[in-house]
Amino acid sequence: MTMVTETNKTGANIFKQGNGKVQISAEGIQARIKELGVQITKDYAGQELHLICVLNGAFIFMADLARAIDLPLSVDFMSVSSYGAGTTSSGEVKLVKDLDQSLQGKHILFVEDIVDTGLTINYLLKYLESRGPLSIKVVSLLSKPARRKVEVSIDYLGFEIEDAFVYGYGLDVDHIYRNIPFITSQHSTSQHSTSQHSTSQKG
């Protein structure tokens, strides 16, 4: 997949939108995160919240979301890789980085970049439930229901999108372009373009 860029007078690349069907502006993302923060603050009023971020794709989303939540909170990170043939995830997960903190008796907000097939997040939620939290809810920046194989309850959702390969705002193409401030997609006729089977888009 080729990312479209242009060069300004200083020689720096300016990111441009791809020509795909999913386009979400930086302003739109920030406005939605502010709304999510208000709702989460209301729902957990008077309680402490523990955010768990799935690396790498959700790190920018969680950083902005955490600052939009007006509550005392703590954060932790985990990293996984999923197994499967070609562009298909089997839902079997290798834990690359486990959590550093105990979940016992805590209210957990599980932060994802995108829920795709649902296989990986379904596996991870069962794993987290075994660690003794008081509650677990899911917040995801994006959801792609057309590709769902396992139903997953998303308690707080940024945007529901069509079946397209998206990148930007934490989501990558071959490990780059995570720093694009908006979400875009590139039109392609290949299956890889919609499978979201990159390092961050495993879900």
Instruction: Identify residue 179 by its one-letter amino acid code.
Output: N
Measured CA angle at 137 (ends 124, 150), to 5 deg: 50
User: What are the tens digits of pLDDT across the range 103-147?
Assistant: 999 999 999 999 999 998 999 999 999 999 999 999 999 999 999
Highest mean pLDDT: which range of 20-29, 75-84, 190-199: 20-29
As a whole number of angstroms, the longest Cα–Cα distance in the chain is: 55
Assigned fold of 25-164: Rossmann fold (3.40.50)
Q: What is the mean pLDDT of residues 7-26?
A: 73
Rounded CA-CA distance 23/49 in Å is 31
Active site (annotated) includes residue 116: yes
Lowest average pLDDT, out of 88-92, 129-133, 153-157, goes to 88-92
Confidence check: pLDDT of 194 > 80: no
For position 140, what pLDDT does the model report? 98
Confidence (pLDDT) at 94 = 83
pLDDT of 91 over the 70 cut:
no
The pLDDT value recorded for residue 184 is 96
One DSSP character per residue, the chain reads -PPPEEE-TTS-EEE---SSS--B-HHHHHHHHHHHHHHHHHHTTTS-EEEEEEETTTHHHHHHHHHH--S-EEEEEEEEEE--STT---S-EEEEE--SS--TT-EEEEEEEEESSSHHHHHHHHHHHTT--SEEEEEEEEE-GGG-SS----SEEEEE--S--EEBTTB-BTTB-TT-SSBEE---SSTHHHH--SSS---
Average pLDDT, the chain: 85
Write the secondary structure of 16-30 as one string of H (helix), E (strand) and C (coil).
CCCCCCCCECHHHHH
Q: Could you tell me which of 57, 59, 51 has the C-alpha nearest to residue 76? A: 51
Comparing 104 with 187, which gets the higher pLDDT? 104
Q: Which tokens sit at 189?
A: 């006729």
Neighbours of 196 (CB within 10 A): 27
The pLDDT, as a whole number, for residue 30 is 98
Non-local (6+) Cβ contacts of 58 within 8 A are 111, 112, 113, 141, 170, 200
Task: Specify the higher pLDDT residue, 179 or 90.
Answer: 179
Q: Annotated catalytic residue: which of 116, 155, 163, 172? A: 116
Q: Report the amino acid identity of residue 22.
A: V
Compute the average pLDDT of residues 156-164.
96
Instruction: Please say whether the beta carbons of 197 and 87 come within 8 A.
Output: yes
